[in-house]
Amino acid sequence: MRLVVALVLLLLGGTTAAAADGGPVGADLHVAQTVGERELTVVIRRTDGAPAPLRVDVVAHAGDPGGVIRVRAVPTGARAVSEAAVELRQPGPVGVSLSVDRFGAWELELDDGTHVARIPFTVPERITPAWERTAFGGFVAAGVFLLAALVMAPRGGRKALVPAAGVVASVAVGITAALLSATVGPKAVVDTGRPPVALAVTPDSEAKAGQGVWLSLDWYDAATGRPVDDLLVHHGALVHLAIISPNGTPTHVHPMRVGPGRYRILYKPAEPGRHAMAAEIARAGGGQQQIRAEVEVAPGTSQKSTVDNTGKVDTGAPVAGRPATLTADFGGPDDLQPWLGMRGHLILVGPGETLWAHAHALTSPMAGGQPDESVAAYPAKVSFTFTFPTPGRYRLWFQAERDYRILTLPAVVDVAPGGSPR
Amino acid sequence: MKPRGKALLAGVVVALVAVFAVIWTTRDKPVELTAGTASYAVRLTVDSPRIGGNAVLVEVTDLAGAPVVADEVTVEPVMADMGHALTPVPATAAAPGHYRADPTDLPMAGLWELTVTVRRDRASEHAVFTLVI
- Which superfamily does CATH assign the domain made up of B31-132 to? Macroglobulin (MG2) domain (2.60.40.1930)
Which range has highest mean pLDDT (A25-34, A43-52, A83-92, A175-184)? A83-92
Contact A69, A58 (CB under 8 A): yes
Set of chain A residues whose Cβ sits within 8 Å of the Cβ of B59: none
What H or E segment, with its residue span, contains residue B7?
helix B3-25
The model's confidence at residue A83, banded by pLDDT at 50, 70 and 90, is very high
* pLDDT higher than 60, residue A185: yes
Q: What per-residue confidence (pLDDT) applies to A265?
A: 95
Give the model's pLDDT for residue A291: 93
Question: Which residue in the set B36, B110, B126 is minimally distant from A77, CB to CB?
Answer: B36
Question: Would you say how long chain A is, in residues?
Answer: 422
Subunit contact A78:B36, Cβ cutoff 8 A: yes
The pLDDT of residue A24:
47
User: Helix, strand, or coil here: A406?
Assistant: strand
Task: Provide the pLDDT for residue A141.
Answer: 92
- Using the Cβ of A261 and the Cβ atoms of chain B, whether some distance falls under 8 Å is answered with no
pLDDT band at residue A15 under the 50/70/90 scheme = very low
B6 vs A288 pLDDT, higher one: A288
Q: How close A284 comes to chain B (CA, Å)?
A: 9
Reported pTM: 0.79
Which residue of chain A has the CA closest to B113?
A230
Distance of alpha carbon A227 from alpha carbon A151, whole angstroms:
68
The residue among A304 and A328 whose pLDDT is bigger is A328
List, as one string, the DSSP characters of A245-288. -TT--EEEE-BEEEETTEEEEEE--SSSEEEEEEEEEEETTTEE
pLDDT for res A18: 35
**Contact with chain B for residue A5, Cβ under 8 A:** no
pLDDT score recorded for residue A191: 63
Q: Which of B81, B86, B126, B133 to mutate to test the interface with A (most CBs of A within 10 A)?
A: B81
Q: Which residue in chain B is spatially nearest to A230 when comparing CA positions?
A: B80
**Which DSSP state fits A168?**
H
Q: For residues A327 and A294, give the distance between their C-alpha atoms in angstroms, rounded to a whole number.
A: 29
Domain positions in chain B are 31-132
- Mutation for B interface: A224, A257, A258, A283, most B CBs within 10 A: A224
For the cut 70, the answer to whether the pLDDT of residue A4 exceeds it is no
- Mean pLDDT (chain A, rounded): 85
- Give the strands of the sheet with A381-387, arranged side by side: A312-314, A323-329, A381-387
Q: Hey, what domains does chain A have and what are their CATH numbers? A: 21-123 (2.60.40.1930), 197-297 (2.60.40.1930), 312-415 (2.60.40.1220)
Q: Of A19-28, A319-328, A335-344, which range is least confident?
A: A19-28
Residue A19 has a pLDDT of 34
Among partner residues A78, A105, A195, which is closest to B83 by beta-carbon distance? A195
Interface of A with B in 57-86 (CB under 8 A): 75-79
pLDDT at A280: 93
Query: Residue B85: closest CA among chain A residues belongs to which residue?
Result: A224
User: Are A221 and B83 within 8 A, CB to CB?
Assistant: yes
Q: Does B36 contact A285 at a Cβ distance shorter than 8 Å?
A: no
The predicted pLDDT at position A49 comes to: 79
Query: pLDDT by residue (tens digit) across A379-414?
Result: 889 999 999 999 999 999 999 998 888 888 989 999
- The tens-digit pLDDT sequence of chain B (133 residues) is 567 778 877 887 888 787 777 766 665 578 888 888 888 999 999 988 888 899 999 999 998 889 999 999 999 999 888 888 889 999 999 999 999 998 999 988 888 989 999 999 888 999 999 888 8
